């Protein structure tokens, strides 16, 4: 009984060991599986979090998109404003001048047009013959073609002579004062910008006697022209008012002219009747008696 009892616990021990050997790896595998799944759960959580963040980002993107869409029309509007710019007339027809750059859309204060800036404009170089700035019987002041500031350009004055090369003068300013001589003189001024001629103008300086003669013989056409234009404008305005009055009161005018025409016809008829009466009265009694005798003789025959 003791040997058998001693053997039983040994067999039971072996069975327990075998069971542990069989169940232990399974438990460890299950533990490993659970351990391995926990990171998976974490990853899934992270992936869910990332998906939530992505969805949040996706939901935030449309919030940013309207801003870009709102900025796009502003850029387009700016471009249209640039395209809707017009230029004013140049202050000169030759040489160098200035003109206004006018904005026709997007002006402050709701204005339809506003001046953006003033820029330089250029025309043909040759300006022909110019007029002096001021002149007297002793001297004359001539000016080159330029815009402000004067020191931006370089000026070259020349004395022109017939069939000869022009003489370059020492004066390099924009204004030249010349004393009148015994003979008329011609001057030319070239305006240079970066050694390029952008304007050229000529002047004639007459003598004192020629200037006095031109002043006395020059017809005073300005006053006559102003008077003729004033009279013409007054006549045109009067004719326009008369036409407007006739159009407005056409019925009254028509009846007036009809009555006047009928009265003239009546007067003409009365005058013709008076003429006939006067002719019948002018006949003598002898003529009447002769006519009666002729009528009686014809009746007897």
pLDDT digits (tens, 9 = 90+) for 208-254: 888 888 777 655 566 778 888 899 999 999 999 989 988 888 888 78
- Of 221, 256, 281, which closes a domain? 221
- Rounded to an integer, the average pLDDT of 90-95 is 92
Question: Is there a single domain that holds both residue 120 and residue 139?
Answer: no
Q: What is the signed CA dihedral for 74, 75, 80, 81, rounded to 10 degrees?
A: 70
- Rounded to an integer, the average pLDDT of 274-280 is 59
Compute the radius of gyration of the chain from its Cα atoms: 59
Question: What's the pLDDT score for residue 25?
Answer: 55
Residue 132 vs residues 56, 161, 203: alpha-carbon distances, Å: 79, 19, 7
- Report the domain count for the chain: 2
Residue 16 vs residues 2, 4, 8, 125: alpha-carbon distances, Å: 21, 18, 12, 120
In a domain, 273, yes or no: no
In a domain, 184, yes or no: yes
Question: Is there a single domain that holds both residue 182 and residue 217?
Answer: yes
In a domain, 52, yes or no: no
Locate the DSSP E strands across the chain: 85-87, 96-103, 114-122, 126-129, 134-135, 139-143, 154-160, 167-168, 175-179, 185-193, 196-205
In a domain, 294, yes or no: no
In a domain, 23, yes or no: no
- Of 221, 241, 257, which closes a domain? 221
In a domain, 290, yes or no: no
Tell me the residue length of the chain: 301
Structure tokens at 217: 């013989």
- Taking phi over 0 as left and psi of -120 to 50 as alpha, with beta for the rest, 158 belongs to beta
Question: Is there a single domain that holds both residue 99 and residue 145?
Answer: no
pLDDT digits (tens, 9 = 90+) for 5-26: 444 566 677 777 677 776 655 5
Domain of 181 in residue numbering reads as: 126-221
Structure tokens at 56: 């949040």
Q: How far is CA 259 from the centre of its chain?
A: 57
In a domain, 177, yes or no: yes
For residue 176, give the nearest of 194, 190, 195 by alpha carbon: 190
pTM: 0.45
């Amino acid at each position: 009984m003791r040997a058998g009892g001693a053997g039983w616990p040994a067999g039971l021990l072996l069975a327990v060991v075998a069971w542990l050997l069989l169940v232990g790896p399974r438990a460890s595998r299950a533990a490993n599986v659970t351990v391995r799944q926990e990171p998976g759960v974490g990853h899934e959580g992270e992936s869910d979090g990332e998906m939530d963040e992505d969805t949040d980002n996706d939901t935030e993107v449309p919030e940013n998109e309207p801003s870009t869409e709102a900025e796009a029309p502003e850029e387009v509007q700016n471009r249209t404003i640039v395209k809707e710019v017009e230029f004013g007339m140049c202050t000169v027809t030759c040489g160098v001048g200035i003109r206004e750059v006018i904005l026709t859309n997007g002006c402050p204060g709701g204005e339809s047009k506003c001046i953006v800036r003033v820029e330089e404009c250029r025309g043909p170089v040759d300006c022909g013959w110019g007029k002096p700035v001021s002149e007297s019987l002793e001297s004359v002041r001539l000016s080159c073609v330029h815009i402000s500031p004067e020191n931006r350009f370089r000026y070259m004055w020349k004395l022109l002579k017939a069939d000869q090369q022009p003489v370059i003068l020492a004066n390099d300013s924009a204004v030249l004062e010349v004393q009148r001589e015994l003979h008329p003189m011609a001057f030319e001024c070239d305006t240079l910008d970066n050694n390029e001629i952008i304007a050229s103008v000529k002047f004639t300086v007459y003598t004192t006697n020629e200037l006095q003669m031109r002043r006395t013989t020059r017809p005073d056409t300005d006053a006559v022209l102003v008077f003729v234009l004033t009279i013409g404008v007054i006549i045109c305005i009067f004719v326009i008012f008369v036409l407007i009055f006739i159009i407005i009161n056409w019925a009254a005018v028509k009846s007036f002219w009809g009555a006047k025409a009928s009265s003239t016809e009546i007067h003409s008829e009365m005058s013709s009747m008076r003429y006939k009466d006067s002719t019948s009265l002018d006949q003598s009694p002898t003529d009447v008696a002769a006519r009666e005798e002729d009528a009686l003789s014809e009746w007897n025959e």
